[in-house]
Amino acid sequence: MAVVSGVISALLLCVLCPSSFAVIPQYTEKYFEQILDHFNFKAYGNQTYRQRYLIQDKWWEKGKGPIFFYTGNEGDITDFWAASGFVHELAPQFGALILFAEHAS
């Protein structure tokens, strides 16, 4: 009975929210040199670190389309990329660039 109930629940989810099963697009992983501390230059000087970000420009209408920017949480940015399907669904409709920046603590 539990298996049947699970199957029915999955089918209802597919019908009510088909976008939850959308394919998540691939990204390009990049880095840039980020200033370590924007407020305390005396303690850290001009030290930098490599900040990681993920980018997808498949649907971007450069010069016209918006940039969907996600500021990362305290975790692996690839996990947030995979869990943010709504961003990937909206990007083609808006001609948007998708950019996820990884949080640094």
Q: How many domains does the chain have?
A: 1
Q: What is the pLDDT tens value at each position of the chain, 105 positions in all? A: 444 444 444 433 444 444 545 567 899 999 999 887 777 767 767 788 888 999 999 999 999 999 999 987 888 888 889 888 889 999 999 999 999 998 876
Determine, yes or no, domain membership for 68: yes
Determine, yes or no, domain membership for 13: no
Structural domain of 53: 22-101
Determine, yes or no, domain membership for 17: no
Q: How far apart are CA 27 and CA 49, in angstroms?
A: 22
| pTM of the entire predicted model | 0.70
Question: Any idea what the Cα angle at residue 81 is, between residues 76 and 87, rounded to 5°?
Answer: 150
Determine, yes or no, domain membership for 8: no
